[in-house]
């Protein structure tokens, strides 16, 4: 298994920053859901190769990757709307504080719900893998300090 396994795992199950809309697909591109979905798909395929997944596992892992990918368009749309709310408030001579706080609370709830769904993907991945595959992945995780 290559040492690049950990980033692929994190991309597959975490997707935290990606789905929160804080990263870009390249430094000079506006985030594009289709491009992000292709990026996830490539990492899923690499992950499948790295763990020597069986065909049955590969099918299940691709489905998990698709669950992550399916979140991208809505997550990016919601993030853009939230960012616009913040930008509009900043540009305003007198921002409506309560409205901005409510927008933050709503965005926080959406991100929390998304992270719960991503955690479910990670737990489902755990169920798909053999104990040996999980141990191999664990060996690539950083040690507690």
For residue range 93-113, list pLDDT tens digits in order. 999 999 999 999 999 999 999
**Lowest mean pLDDT segment, chosen from 19-33, 61-75, 76-90, 124-138:** 19-33
Separation CA 111–CA 53 (nearest Å): 31
What's the number of domains the chain is made of?
1
**Verdict on whether the full-model pTM lies above 0.85:** no
**Tens of pLDDT along 56-92?**
999 999 999 999 999 989 999 999 999 999 999 999 9
143 lies in some domain: no
Range of the domain at 36: 5-138
| DSSP codes joined into one string, 29-95 | S---HHHHHHHHHHHHHHHHHHTT--HHHHHHHHHHHHHHHHHHHHHHHHHHHHHHHHHHHHHSSS-
pLDDT, greater one: 4 or 100: 100
Torsion of CA 131, 137, 140, 145, to 10 degrees: -60
Is residue 14 predicted with pLDDT exceeding 80? Answer: no
| Mean pLDDT value across the chain | 84
Any domain includes 58: yes
Mean pLDDT, rounded, for 22-45: 74
Q: Are 129 and 121 in contact (CB under 8 A)?
A: no
In a domain, residue 54? The reply is yes
Residue 35 lies in a domain: yes
Query: Is 145 inside any structural domain?
Result: no
């Amino acid at each position: 298994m290559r040492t690049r396994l950990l980033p692929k795992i994190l991309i597959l199950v975490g997707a935290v920053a990606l789905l929160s809309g804080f990263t870009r697909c390249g430094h000079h591109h506006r985030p594009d859901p289709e491009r992000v979905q292709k990026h996830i798909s490539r990492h899923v395929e690499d992950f499948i190769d790295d763990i020597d997944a069986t065909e049955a596992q590969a099918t299940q892992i691709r489905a998990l990757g698709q669950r992550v990918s399916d979140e991208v368009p809505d997550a990016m749309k919601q993030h853009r709307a939230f960012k616009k709310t913040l930008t509009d408030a900043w540009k305003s001579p007198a921002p409506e504080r309560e409205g901005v706080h409510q927008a933050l609370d709503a965005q926080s709830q959406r991100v929390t719900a998304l992270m719960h769904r991503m955690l479910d993907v990670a737990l489902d991945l755990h169920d798909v893998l053999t104990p040996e595959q999980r141990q191999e992945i664990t060996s690539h995780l950083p040690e507690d300090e």
